[in-house]
Amino acid sequence: MSGNNPAESSPAHRSPLTAHPRHAIGVLGGTFDPIHFGHLRLAEEMAEAIGLGEVRFIPAGQPPHRAAPHAAAPHRLAMVRRAVAGNPYFAVDAREVDSPRPSYTVDTLTALRAELGSKQPLWLLLGADAFLGLTSWHAWRRLFELAHIAVAARPGAQLLQSDSMSDELRREVSQRHVADGSAAGPAGSVLLRQMTPLDISATAIRHTLARQGSVRYLLPDAVLDYIHEHHLYGTA
Ligand code: ATP
């Protein structure tokens, strides 16, 4: 984690996030295989909309829900560190990468809750695709006891009306839905928020790299440099 204190290091051009003290913490998990601008804009736009004082990027070690990532955990962690360097609001948390066990979000949030105390507002940040699969996550209902959930939806997409949302998730959302990020309390609300649509995926980036194509402007240059330095994803 960076250990930066946002209050001391906020540059003037970040004024939307510095207008008043920010208390809430955002958590963005992912395989980040590799991290790209879709992830970074999700964090940035949610930080601004909710008024987060910090977003913690938590790369998954061995994610339980999917096939093993392509790049080894230390590489994915290093790429996330490079991507967030220089943003005083973004921090990296290596706990899942350092753990020998599969990373369950509920365990990570439980640990964060124990460290930060019961009053700390926490926001789990999710893309709509991840949110729609929530009911398959381990102990998913407990997530609402541990954090608020902010979902980045596509403009025009009626997430609540989506056929892809299970009835049990729809019930949770309709009870917990809030209109903005000023939700009271440390956990339990669901915010659906439109973000700038960026049709970027790590899968497409990996495929393009494997055929020696260009992925410039889809992810930070510092991440692309790292990929080439370490010959990741089939790069020459
Ligand atoms: P892959 O293509 O390997 O499945 P990914 O690009 O979807 O990877 P993940 O690490 O699985 O990235 O995603 C982490 C989080 O970021 C998830 O909540 C996901 O919904 C969200 N996310 C990923 N890409 C975007 C994007 N382009 N716009 C908004 N959210 C995104």
Q: Distance between CA atoms of 120 and 104, rounded to whole angstroms?
A: 21
Atom of ligand 1 nearest to the CA of 126: 18
Pick left, alpha or beta for residue 3 (phi over 0 → left; psi -120 to 50 → alpha; otherwise beta): left
- Mean pLDDT per segment of 10 residues, for the chain of length 236 residues? 41 43 88 97 96 96 80 97 96 96 94 96 95 94 98 74 87 92 88 93 97 98 98 94
Residue identified by tokens 């003290």 is: 21
Structural domain includes residue 152: yes
Provide the pLDDT for residue 64. 72
Mark 132-162 as b/e (b = at least 16 C-beta within 10 Å). Answer: bebeebeebeebbebbbbbbbbeeeeebeee
User: Is 143 in contact with 134 (CB distance < 8 Å)?
Assistant: yes
Ligand 1 touching residue 219 (CB < 6 A): no
Provide the pLDDT for residue 17. 45
pTM of the model: 0.90
Atom of ligand 1 nearest to the CA of 205: 2
Q: Distance between CA atoms of 3 and 9, rounded to whole angstroms?
A: 11
Strands 190-194 and 148-153: parallel
Atom of ligand 1 nearest to the CA of 28: 15
Q: Which of 195, 201, 215 has most ligand 1 atoms within 8 Å of CB, for mutation?
A: 201
Provide the pLDDT for residue 156. 59
Name the closest-CA residue to atom 28, ligand 1: 38
Name the closest-CA residue to atom 19, ligand 1: 127
Structural domain includes residue 165: yes
Structural domain includes residue 92: yes
Could you give the number of structural domains in the chain? 1
Q: Which domain holds residue 87?
A: 24-198
Provide the pLDDT for residue 163. 81
Distance 59 CA to ligand 1 centre (A): 12
Distance 20 CA to ligand 1 centre (A): 30
Distance 69 CA to ligand 1 centre (A): 13
Structural domain includes residue 37: yes
Closest CA to 177 of 133, 136, 108, 131: 131
Structural domain includes residue 62: yes
Strands 24-30 and 122-127: parallel
Measuring CA to CA, how many Å separate 217 from each of 142, 183, 200, 224?
38, 35, 10, 9
Structural domain includes residue 226: no
Provide the pLDDT for residue 189. 96
Provide the pLDDT for residue 15. 42
CATH number at residue 33: 3.40.50.620
Measuring CA to CA, how many Å separate 193 from each of 52, 65, 109?
14, 25, 22
Distance 158 CA to ligand 1 centre (A): 19
Atom of ligand 1 nearest to the CA of 33: 3
Structural domain includes residue 89: yes
Ligand 1 touching residue 32 (CB < 6 A): yes
Provide the pLDDT for residue 223. 98
Structural domain includes residue 88: yes
Q: Distance between CA atoms of 49 and 25, rounded to whole angstroms?
A: 13
Ligand 1 touching residue 229 (CB < 6 A): no
Pick left, alpha or beta for residue 162 (phi over 0 → left; psi -120 to 50 → alpha; otherwise beta): beta
